[in-house]
Chains A and B, each alone.
Chain A
């Protein structure tokens, strides 16, 4: 920390911003790596269909794609809101 830095604001300390942005971005990109490219769109469309019947958040749905030597599994998880203010009851 130099004398001049002391008087300067910390606006030039952008490296920490860069690091944080990269960490968030790469976590996301690594997740979708080597997974079918249709996953994000599938998630989006599923959400639309479900919203026709229940008010759910963007975060309420998760699509997981797992791959091992023998099989590929697509796991769909929807968290329904606790209060029964849905347009109609839905069973899945």
Chain B
């Protein structure tokens, strides 16, 4: 039975695509056949983050419209042969997505894949709506910042009322929090919402904290999901997220600040 995961946030720029690429790679690396779909029609970027932008021939919309079959459109990842990418169309607009079309593609993928990761676009319009509609699990990506927390809360309302599971009165979508771009030093000095603050407001099951990290940009520059940078803090944090999602118990890391003695004394950055 395939599990459909939506990576969502409402707000843009919080790390949805970075997260989608990382967790899809993580799941595949752990032996689960995984597909990751870019729902950001017209502004596709997952292909760049996954480093397969030059191998895109057919896309999600082509498959929905029957202009290509799934096997033609799916791109096998160069780092992991259990991972496949279904890119968004760059030329069409989001109206090319339809609820029936998306449902058909997901149903076909579900026959062959263990996990299907849906990378949602920002906003709450059609692309975002269809990315979450069929989901079983939702990874809500949130920055410790007011507008991101507010948008996540709005997204939670939509997950609870507008999804297929909600409409059919099924067991609700399982919602998980991924707190990204976390800076323990700034939290300690009272400049940034803490994990506890965000948890108090959103009350979600915490899947992991991804620290603000230079390795995220380095990874996207190279088109390699950051989880493959196993020595980096963000890479390790994403590996923890995948392990926890698969049921392992792992203590949360990257919550404490790494200030040295002198920095502690003088409070510098």
Size of interface on A: residues with Cβ below 8 Å to B = 22
At the interface, yes or no: B68 with Cβ under 8 Å from chain A? no
CB-contacts of B148-162 with A (<8 A): 149-150, 153-154, 157, 161
Size bin of chain B's contact surface: 20 to 34
Residue of B nearest to A21 (CB): B146
**Contact indicator B146/A18 (Cβ below 8 Å):** yes
Of all chain B residues, which has the CB nearest A12? B191
Instruction: Name the A residues within 8 Å of B193 (CB-CB).
Output: 15, 18-19
The answer on a CB contact under 8 Å between B191 and A5 is no
Q: Which residues of B contact A14 (CB under 8 A)?
A: 190-191
Interface string of A66-91 (1 = CB under 8 A from B): 00000000000000000000000000
- Chain B neighbourhood of A33, CB < 8 A: 157, 161
A26: which B residues are within 8 A, CB to CB?
149-150, 153, 201
Residue contacts A-B, CB under 8 angstroms, 26 given: A2-B263, A2-B264, A3-B265, A4-B265, A4-B268, A5-B267, A8-B267, A12-B190, A13-B189, A14-B191, A15-B187, A15-B191, A15-B197, A19-B193, A19-B197, A21-B146, A22-B146, A22-B201, A25-B150, A26-B149, A26-B153, A26-B201, A29-B150, A33-B157, A34-B157, A34-B161
